[in-house]
Amino acid sequence: MKKYLFILLVIPMFISSQTCVYDYVMKKKQDYYSFNNSYNVLYHHANNRLSKSIETYYIPVVFHVVYNSEEQNIADSVLISQIEVLNEDYRRLNNNANETREEFLEFAGDANIEFFLANVDPNGNSTNGIIHQYTDRQEFLMFEDIFSNEITLDEVKKSESGGSDAWNTNQYLNIWVCNIGSLDILGLELGQVFGYAYPPVNIDEALIDLADTQTVPDWPVDMLTDDETLQGVVLHYTAVGRNNPVANNDGMTENNEGRAAVHEVGHYLGLRHIWGDAIAFLGDDGCSVDDGISDTPNANDQAGYVCDFNKNTCTGDTFGSTGEDLPDMVENYMDYSPDACLNMFTNGQINIMRNILEIARPELINEEASLSNNEINSLNSQKKVIKTIDVLGRGATSQKLNIQIDVYQDGSARKYIRTN
């Protein structure tokens, strides 16, 4: 029975043209009370906390192009194009910003977040922020076994499994580009995964800072990873940039403008899908499932990769200035719509992303689009672990302890949950 239910779960998720694995993780954890409760707490407090700064946040990016063929080894110019798309969309400088419908203009905003190719590597050496790494693996699968809960796509992030090792994920946004194998079961192709991203590993610390009290629930261990080397974004090589010469090799033309990365970085910065990850095919009432953000209308399901401005699957979204019921916001970057349709983040989504940066990913923030050797060396020296303790302050010697705390030389600490 469990296997049968799992097949029903996966098939409707991947029959749409665009897919990111975030759906899968969300649906697999929907029955965990702690997961739903923690997510609700995060969004409740993030929505009621204003970002501390109006300054532009600059985030250094390193691309890991893990390739098996010349086709997969996309050119640096394509990656530069991807950075341009991210900057345009996160600053609302995109050419189609004027296509945001009038009823949504009051909610659309500039995230004031910019991205740049890292110019200094973790060792303080000059770099262009791009790694081309050959692999003998023809593809990386989301999971080896369709019935497995283990996400094996993370193998692209480790050199020992044919991938490329992350740069310090506290200081760099790592984006891996590879051939993500299409999903199939018993010869039936279910679809192509175009991207995947983890939410912050230290989300419990963000919850503490956001909450009115120091008592907040933890996210479930099986939703997150305590391995910081896995933090980042993974993209299918055909969905990168808007000048990609192999963009049509996946059989699609609707995802050729580089917005798979815009979508996945949104997840990386804490956003959920705009429809709240309901699956209408399974009988979910999406109108009662929300992304937790007040200025995004409810939707019964994802857009299905159709830019239908007449779509209005839920009623009662009358929070706009007109007081009229709002349609589905299919132009939102966190929906599954054609790239040409997507054109906005809402102010509520922007507040979430900036909060996550300030609280859970603060070392990513730079004051300018450049890194200095002194800055990297200083950060590296500050983050040396001097001891590891448990929640009672005792030395943590057991490898099976549930909760451990690393204490760093600079006096900071990181709490995490071990799974091994």
Active-site residues: which are they?
264
Q: Closest Cα to residue 61, out of 105, 121, 148, 134?
A: 121
CA distance 73 to 153: 18
Among left, alpha and beta (phi > 0; psi -120 to 50; other), residue 258 is left
Contact 290, 278 (CB under 8 A): no
3-state secondary structure of 190: strand
Contact 163, 155 (CB under 8 A): yes
Among left, alpha and beta (phi > 0; psi -120 to 50; other), residue 387 is beta
Element spanning 406, H or E? strand 403-408
3-state secondary structure of 258: coil
Query: What type of residue is 350?
Result: I
Q: What are phi and psi of 2, to 5 degrees?
A: -60, -40
**Cα separation of the two ends of the chain:** 28
Give helix then strand counts, H and E, for the chain. 8, 11
CA distance 286 to 277: 8
